[in-house]
Amino acid sequence: MQLGMIGLGRMGGNIVRRLMKKGGHSCVVFDRDPAAISALEKEGAKGGKSLEDFVKNLEKPRTVWVMLPAGGPTEDTVWKIAGMLEKGDIIIDGGNSNWKDDVRRAAELQKKGIHYVDVGTSGGIWGFERGYCLMIGGSKEAVDRLDPILSCLAPGKGEIDDTPGRGKGHDKRAEQGYMHCGPAGAGHFVKMVHNGIEYGLMQAYAEGFDIIKHANSELLPPEHRFTINCADVAELWRRGSVVSSWLLDLTAIALAEDVELKGYSGHVADSGEGRWTINAAIEEAVPADVLTAALYVRFRSRQDHTYAEKILSAMRKQFGGHVEAPKKG
């Protein structure tokens, strides 16, 4: 199957590579940076010199995946590309847009007969090898048509055991790492909550390691002090512990490189989904104590920093390649 990709950053570029190298799909690519286009052309993709040229290189019915920062860049590109497409074509937003924007865009594009599919994409910089967990919103017709691409990008069942009790009535695709969550907006809604949970999980690890690091505090009686290597604890917990996870694996990598995390200031950004998750909880009158607290800690991290915040920064760099904002002044 052919896919057109707009946006060749950390994830967009690797999605193209996975489709071509692991699935044998053909890809047409476009990016503002000519070097990014050239790099993928050398790997087998067909580059577009402009958006117009990009569209001309796509076979009908066309499928265009937009992988750009949420907000203005995605909004502008969706409508610009929509003006060049026809009835029956598909636009995919694979970034982290607000799900309410998806609902609005889908309704408008439906008037032109263009399908709109939102794909919440988790996997970060490791997705090329591990695959991407895909949370999908859109019409059944469009999502089913995209299955060759989605199944290729998903991680597959792997060595994970079957979940007891799963049978009829469940989406079998979920066992492969991708799921049709519902109509337009549902995919990004699920991804939004996913990222809110991610904030809470990361904060729990960060606080736990902070407590272990300060177990030798002078505030404690000498006989109650311990000097414990956080890198070794992270490695220990990866094996047989109920708190093992991929986030813990990434934390162990960061701590093995530098247990003091001297390369991090502890300034922790938030990309928007955490805020939107809390807004959804408020609208639904659902208590979200942990997720709210985790978001507020990120706000506080921009004022003063603890070892816990350095742990958070280290995890963000490991799973997503996120680099701390430069210090001011």
Instruction: Find the catalytic residue in 198, 273, 309, 324.
Output: 198
Distance (Å, rounded) from C-alpha 145 to C-alpha 142? 5
Measuring CA to CA, how many Å separate 205 from each of 202, 227, 257, 307?
Answer: 5, 18, 18, 11
The distance in angstroms from the start CA to the end CA of the chain is: 51
Instruction: Find the catalytic residue in 46, 108, 191, 218.
Output: 191
Q: Could you tell me the two tokens for 260?
A: 């003091």
Q: Which of 86, 113, 77, 118 is nearest to 101 (CA)?
A: 118
The yes-or-no answer on residue 191 being catalytic is yes
Q: Could you tell me the two tokens for 122?
A: 């988790």
For the residues of 2-53, what is the DSSP string, one character each?
EEEEE--SHHHHHHHHHHHHHH--EEEEE-S-HHHHHHHHTTTPEE-SSHHH
Environment class of 205 (CB within 10 Å of its CB; exposed 0-12, middle 13-18, buried 19+): buried
The yes-or-no answer on residue 198 being catalytic is yes
Distance (Å, rounded) from C-alpha 2 to C-alpha 152? 12
Distance of CA 128 to the CA centre of its chain: 13
Catalytic residues: 191, 198
